[in-house]
Amino acid sequence: MTLVLEVDVDSGVPVYEQIRGQVVAHVAAGRLHPGDRLPTIRALAADLGIAPGTVAHAFRELEQAGVLATRRRTGTVVAQGATPADTGPRRAAQAYVRQVRAAGLSDEEAVALVRGALLGTP
Amino acid sequence: MAASFVALAGLVLFVLVPLAVLVTVTVVVARAGRRAAASPTEVPLRDAPAAYRRAVVHARTTAWASWALLVGASVAVGMVAATVPGGFAPEAFGAPTASAGLVFLAACAVGELTWPTPDGPVRRAPLQVRTVDTVTPRGLRRLVWAWAALLVVTLVATGVTGARGTELTLRFGTEATSTASPYPGWRYGLPLMAAALVVVAACEAVLRLVARRPAVADTAPDDDRRLRRVSARRVLAAVQLVLAITAATVLAVTANATRAAASARGGSTTALSTQPPSVDVVAAVLGVVAGLLAVAVLVTGVVVTVVALARAANEAGRPVTPPPAVAGSAEPAGAPS
């Protein structure tokens, strides 16, 4: 299955932040592995119809966070230190997503539930 | 003179006749390709997202305009050759190949550079590296390089064996010679080689544009990739046809000159002495081989073009899959520590 980035340019969340968050999510879910190559900044910007600087901003933050690494020959790849979440929490997250889908909740509502649980649990 | 005109007229005919076949087959197959959805997850082209349908129309318009310009350029060059007294000089023999190929590729490049950009609020991009290799039919691309290689090898061989740049002279023993022309020596060969290499380089540049153009909005990655392959297939089909016609023409001229020189020992032979028969026999055999090869190259080029354009039309009309739900498209999470 081809992984896809999706951004909403009308969203209140900055586009670079949407890109950064989705790349992190793909890595955490184990869909992107260390060493996987990502498209160039220019290619992603062309596909999304946004300025290359926006994608560059997201990639720069991801590099600083240790999620991505840029190599001269291979371009931008998932960094060796970027590992998916532990198996247990990942499976729990997948089960949680299945439940909220079955319950008909939106993505925003599902994330709000998690945030609420995180706030309420020390 | 007359021979050069005949060669150019033949080139025009070789383009026009195959084109009539191409148009017919492509239209028939394109209509057959507009079939119903094959699976519940697919929708027919008429129900595809507007952005995808707009992209298909853009690709089709580009293809028709490119082919029209290719034919127009071929006819224009043929007419110019007919009006020039004595036809083209040997140095101008790269003009038909270069003009047909480059005009076609320029139109394709304009089509790729004006490809519709994403304009809705929600945009998608596949997270995979896209290169020319991943969007190009490998066999067709190899065929383009194979025709170019055949042309260069043939021209180098005829250049080395030619005399005064435009003639073939066979020597029988020490005194007898037989000369035939036109023969693709260096005066014909160098411009033709340059034209072929420029066309191949331009073709690779256009394929790069196909790989780099923006993804079609609101479309699944597989459908976007298929549309890129359609564009690449159309580009390669025309380029391989131009190179095949050029190579076939060079081989045919080589065959004629070789056979004429081999059989002219009593005609233009300047002197007769004790002559070993092997030279003219070898030349005659080579002439027949070159002639057969010319026919094979021409037929292969036309057949491949018809098949490639038919496949492209079929693929462009295939049902599409609605874009998938995107994992992680909700509010962004924090970076891992």
pLDDT-based confidence at B319, cuts 50/70/90? confident
Secondary structure tally for chain A: helices H, strands E: 5, 3
> Which has the higher per-residue pLDDT, B36 or B93?
B93
Mean pLDDT of chain A: 87
Of the listed ranges A28-32, A74-78, B297-301, B324-328, the one predicted with least confidence: B324-328
pLDDT-based confidence at B35, cuts 50/70/90? low
The predicted pLDDT at position B234 comes to 95
Which residue from A36, A28, A81, A41 is spatially nearest to B328, judged by alpha carbons? A28
* B117 φ, ψ (degrees, to nearest 5): -90, 155
> Which has the higher per-residue pLDDT, B279 or B64?
B64
pLDDT-based confidence at B174, cuts 50/70/90? low
Question: How many residues are recorded in chain B?
Answer: 337
- Percent of chain B scored above 90 by pLDDT? 36
The predicted pLDDT at position B297 comes to 93
Query: pLDDT per residue over A55-105, tens digit each?
Result: 999 999 999 988 899 887 778 999 887 776 666 777 788 888 888 888 898
Q: Is the dihedral of CA A3, A9, A10, A11 positive or negative?
A: positive
Chain B CA closest to residue A6 = B124
The predicted pLDDT at position B185 comes to 83
Judged on CB neighbours under 10 Å (0-12, 13-18, 19+), B145 is middle
How many Å apart are CA B230 and CA B228, to the nearest integer?
5
Taking CB atoms and an 8 Å limit, are A75 and B129 in contact across chains? yes
pLDDT at residue B1 above 50?
A: no
Return the structure tokens found at B65: 């305009």
Taking CB atoms and an 8 Å limit, are A46 and B128 in contact across chains? no
Mean pLDDT of B177-192: 83
Q: Which of residues 4-63 of A touch B (CB under 8 A)?
A: 4-10, 13, 17-18, 20-29, 31-32, 37-40, 42-44, 46-50, 61-62
Q: Residue B165 — left, alpha, or beta (φ > 0 → left; ψ -120 to 50 → alpha)? A: left
The predicted pLDDT at position B286 comes to 87
> Which has the higher per-residue pLDDT, B281 or B66?
B66
Taking CB atoms and an 8 Å limit, are B129 and A50 in contact across chains? no
Chain A CA closest to residue B225 = A2
Q: Which range among A96-110, B178-192, B193-207 has the greatest average pLDDT?
A: B193-207
The predicted pLDDT at position B18 comes to 62
Mean pLDDT of A26-33: 87
Mean pLDDT of B147-171: 85
Return the structure tokens found at B218: 């609101």
The predicted pLDDT at position B63 comes to 93
How many Å apart are CA B115 and CA B106, to the nearest integer?
14
Q: Residue B65 — left, alpha, or beta (φ > 0 → left; ψ -120 to 50 → alpha)? A: alpha
Amino acid at B220: A
The predicted pLDDT at position B181 comes to 76
The predicted pLDDT at position B60 comes to 92
Secondary element (H or E) of residue B126: strand B122-126
pLDDT-based confidence at B333, cuts 50/70/90? very low
pTM of this structure? 0.78
Angstroms from A98 CA to nearest CA on chain B? 12
Q: How many CB pairs under 8 A join A and B?
A: 132
How many Å apart are CA B238 and CA B309, to the nearest integer?
9
> Which has the higher per-residue pLDDT, B59 or B272?
B59
- Residue B215: its chain A contacts at CB < 8 A? 46-47
- When CB atoms are compared, the residue of A4, A66, A111 closest to B330 is A111
Query: pLDDT per residue over B235-257, tens digit each?
Result: 999 999 999 999 998 999 899 88
How many Å apart are CA B124 and CA B115, to the nearest integer?
16
